[in-house]
Structure 1
Amino acid sequence: MYNQGNQAISGKELSYITDSLKNEELLTKLCVQGAVECQSPSLKQTLAHLSQERLHNISILMNTLQQQSGITH
């Protein structure tokens, strides 16, 4: 188990976070690719918005991993 303040997470939970991070990265790439390639302005805007949401989720997951591992910028 890894401790963060009063919270402890297991190796399995860290594995879930890592898997989620990989999934968010893939979704981001797919949204960006779709936004670049699509012809519909509204769909392009939706995909661009979704890619920004995915990037935000990546940031949250990375911060969580950094906190758990003690890594700081």
Structure 2
Amino acid sequence: MYNTQGNQQISGKELSYLSDTFKNEELLAKLCVQGAVNSQSQSLKQTLSHLSQERLQNMSILTNALQQQAGLTH
């Protein structure tokens, strides 16, 4: 799908996929935080905290990409 400026737009199916991906990243971040809080092992706490930060970073990257796409199409 292309807009009048020749830039490719995101289809409804792609938006649905991106929405699911965002929700999954959010859930994984929450689960990692919960696991870190409940863990007795300092090593596991650190690993889960690191993983939660990665998930949050992925969400930020996804949000920025969608904002850029919105800026291109408007």
Normalising by structure 1, report the TM-score: 0.81
Shift of 1:2: 6.7
Cα distance, 1:61 vs structure 2: 1.1
1:48 alignment counterpart: 49
Structure 2 partner of 1:13: 14
Which is greater in Rg?
A: 2
Is this contact kept in 2: 1:32–1:48, CA < 8 A? yes
Which runs of 5 or more residues in structure 1 are unaligned? Answer: none
Q: Which blocks of at least 5 consecutive residues in structure 2 are unaligned? A: none
Q: Which residue of 1 aligns with 2:28?
A: 27
User: Which TM-score applies when normalising by structure 2?
Assistant: 0.80
The question of whether the paired residues in 2 share the 8 Å contact of 1:35 and 1:47 is answered with yes
- Tell me which amino acid in the other structure corresponds to 1:54: R
Identity %: 78
- Give the superposed CA RMSD: 1.8
- Structure 1's consecutive aligned runs of 4 or more residues displaced over 6 angstroms after TM superposition are none
